[in-house]
Amino acid sequence: MTDFMDIRLAYEKRKEARAAHWYDLQQKANSLCISLGGHLGLYGESYSLGEGHEEQRFQIGIFDDECFKRASPVDFHRKDLKVAFAIRLFVGDAQDNIAECEFIFKLNLGKSANGYVAELLSSAGVLQFPISRQFIESERKALFEAILQEVFESWDSKMMGGTATFDGGSFSLNMPASKELLEHQTILLQGESEQLPHDPSVRKTTHNLVAVNQDLSEQIVQLNSKIGRLIRDLSKAHVECAELTSLHSGGYSLTWGGKTSEPFHG
């Protein structure tokens, strides 16, 4: 019969293990965010809101009630043995008159058999990035580059205003619709295609390609002529071979000087 003290001891060990599990994930997630901020060059940076007020360009928190809230690691959400957190970026340049654009990313961090798995809720869906138990800095760069890619791809749309929030689907919250983005991209591509014929480098490349094509055409004509001669020579040789075979089968034999001997009648 199981003793009550054994049950209590097992419960305490399980409780400690779960607490250690969450604490480890919280600290690793915070480390991941700080590394990301450093990778982007935004951690610790701020920009002026005017009247002596400033806003941090890189913020760590959670996404709750459809909005971002700054939070410490102990407040990260816990779900399915993963911690859920969010980062908010403000990117812009007052000197170049580029307005501050806001980007919000949702992330999860959980454990796997080989270490950890970071999840990025991107516009393309949930992207997973494995990280070893050692949590090496270089192993996180794939995740960082994916976040940078999301920023670059939505940058044109962000210039129109609004906040880009990535949640595993398309970014939302005051952002243009997908159709509008496609139309905008189409206009850009049409403009580039119209400029190509007037680009000196494109004209030079086209001229070189025409010259190469003409040279190849001349070589093809020469090769076809040579093939025609070879075919005629081969046909002539075939006829001569057939004549020799006919002479040989009719009882005639070749003699020196290219003459044939008369058939012998005994």
* Same domain for 212 and 169: no
* Same domain for 245 and 160: no
Q: What is the pLDDT of residues 173-222, one digit of tens each?
A: 334 444 555 555 565 566 666 666 666 666 666 666 667 677 777 777 78
Greater confidence (241 vs 210) lies with 241
Q: What is the pLDDT of residues 7-43, one digit of tens each?
A: 778 778 888 888 999 999 999 999 999 999 888 888 8
* Same domain for 209 and 146: no
- 260, part of any domain: no
Q: How many CA atoms lie within 13 A of 84 on its CB side?
A: 13
* Same domain for 229 and 106: no
pLDDT bucket at 131, cuts 50 / 70 / 90: very high
Which pLDDT does position 101 carry in this prediction? 81
Which pLDDT does position 258 carry in this prediction? 47
- 98-112 and 163-166: which strand pairing? parallel
* Same domain for 172 and 204: no
Q: Is the pLDDT of residue 257 over 50?
A: no
Greater confidence (32 vs 168) lies with 32
User: Which pTM value belongs to this model?
Assistant: 0.56
pLDDT bucket at 230, cuts 50 / 70 / 90: confident
How many domains does the chain fold into?
2
Mean predicted confidence (pLDDT) in 245-259: 56
Greater confidence (149 vs 193) lies with 149
* Same domain for 220 and 146: no
Q: Measure the CA–CA gap between 68 and 238, rounded to whole angstroms.
A: 88
* Same domain for 216 and 151: no
Q: Is the pLDDT of residue 168 over 70?
A: no
The dihedral built from the CA positions of residue 41, 132, 109 and 61, taken in this order, carries a sign that is: negative
* Same domain for 92 and 126: yes
Residue 88: partners with Cβ closer than 8 Å, 6 or more residues away: 58, 59, 61, 68, 102, 103, 104, 105
Single-letter code of the amino acid located at 8: R
Confirm if 63 and 106 have CB atoms less than 8 A apart.
yes
- Start-to-end Cα distance in the chain: 126
* Same domain for 17 and 113: yes
* Same domain for 164 and 113: yes
Which pLDDT does position 175 carry in this prediction? 40
H helices present in 48-140, as ranges: none
* Same domain for 154 and 84: yes
Which pLDDT does position 185 carry in this prediction? 56
- 160, part of any domain: yes
DSSP helix/strand/coil, 123:
coil
Q: What is the pLDDT of residues 74-122, one digit of tens each?
A: 999 998 899 999 999 888 765 555 567 888 999 999 999 989 999 998 8
Q: Which residue has the tokens 């959670």?
A: 62
- 186, part of any domain: no
Which residues span the domain enclosing 232?
199-254
Q: Is the pLDDT of residue 73 over 90?
A: yes
Token pair for residue 81?
């043995």
- 181, part of any domain: no
* Same domain for 206 and 112: no
DSSP helix/strand/coil, 162:
coil
